Amino acid sequence: MKLSLTTPFVFLAAMSLTTPALAQIADFLVPANGDTLKAGSVITVEIEAPLFSAPVREVGLVIGFTVCNRLPLGCTSSPEELMETVLYNGTFNPQRDPLQPTKQAHQNFTVTLPDGQGAAQMGLVHFALGEGEEHPRPICLYLYPTSSIYTMKFTAPLVFLAAMATSVFAQNAEFGVPANGANLAAGSSITVEVDVPTPPTPFQDIAIAIGVTMCEQFTCTSPEEFMQFLLYNGTFNPQRDPQERTKPAHQNFTLTLPNQKGPAQLGLVHFGLGFEAVGFTSVFRSDSVDVTLT
């Protein structure tokens, strides 16, 4: 199988502070571009962590594979837009090798290639939180990419997928608790419930980040662009409660609020994969509620 690897294009948050810190993305070391691989085989994929000029907190990583002759337009889409088969989705924890001090931090993944023959594309989508350099205390976190990319420049099959993206993947993780307008004790430990309505098509949750921004210190913009205090960053596995059948799938998080008072925004960003007829596409959504820390 002839392999063509691509480095996915990532949208940075629409704020100038993110550009120097988040100008790169994780990249493939193994396999190499142009390698020939055996269909159906088990291989090791080595992903190198990018070099950042500011601290970064990893959110998640997706590795996908597309056999080009199975799609009407071949491998013309970036990995954010379309991946026929998902080989891995989950956490990304790159580490340095003490025996190779000049080598960047990296992580190896053992994956199984799909059956097929011909040219193929292996791609990745990388999600991380970057710490703003101008505000070391308190930390200011910028999430990237701010949204998934759905291009409309292709012909019918992929244009249809793009046009459907908003309605099919509009199901979003949202706060069940606390409610909008709630008063919360500053510095206290609270339970945050995140609900996920049942999507109309198959969906894979990958990761979620939950944070708080004090609105008198910073503009409370979309959580996709900015979160002042990061309360949780990791896997997301919502489940239904058999005792409450009308309640959507959800997950509870026990989190500690910052010890500051005033109007605030509790926000989340949700990263997952939605499935359509021709494959998987990355989905990136957010939600927020206004609260007051007293």
Query: Residue 175 sits in a domain of what CATH number?
Result: 2.60.40.10
The answer for residues whose C-beta is within 8 angstroms of residue 280's C-beta and 6 or more apart is 64, 82, 83, 84, 85, 86, 204, 273, 274
pLDDT at 294: 95
Together in a domain, 239 and 110: no
Is residue 23 scored above 60 in pLDDT? no
Together in a domain, 9 and 154: yes
Together in a domain, 32 and 117: yes
For the stretch 267-287, pLDDT in tens is: 998 888 887 767 778 787 889
For the stretch 148-190, pLDDT in tens is: 222 212 122 222 233 333 334 445 789 999 999 999 999 999 9
- pTM, two decimals, is 0.71
- When mean pLDDT is compared over 8-12, 29-33, 41-45, 60-64, the highest value belongs to 41-45
Together in a domain, 193 and 129: no
Together in a domain, 137 and 177: no
183-184 vs 174-177, strand pairing mode: unpaired
> 2 vs 7, 59, 80, 151, 160, CA distance in Å?
17, 31, 21, 26, 28
Q: Report, in this order, helix, strand and coil percent for the chain, each rounded to 5.
A: 5, 45, 50
Instruction: Encode 174-212 in three state secondary structure.
Output: EEEECCCCCEECCCCEEEEEEEECCCCCCEEEEEEEEEE
Q: What is the DSSP string of 68-97?
A: GGGSTT-S-S-TTT-BSEEEEEE----B--
CA distance 148 to 67: 22
User: Does the N-terminal peptide bond of residue 138 adopt cis geometry, omega within 30 degrees of 0?
Assistant: yes
> 187 vs 88, 121, 181, 289, CA distance in Å?
37, 48, 18, 18
pLDDT at 181: 96
Residue 159, helix vs strand vs coil: helix
pLDDT at 53: 57
What percentage of the chain has pLDDT greater than the value 90? 25
Together in a domain, 12 and 97: yes
Is residue 24 scored above 60 in pLDDT? no
Residue 103, helix vs strand vs coil: coil
Structure tokens that stand for 107 in this block? 């992580």
Tell me how many domains the chain contains.
Answer: 2
State which of 149, 167, 185 marks the end of a domain.
Answer: 167
Tell me the residue range of the domain where 153 lies: 3-167
Together in a domain, 79 and 185: no
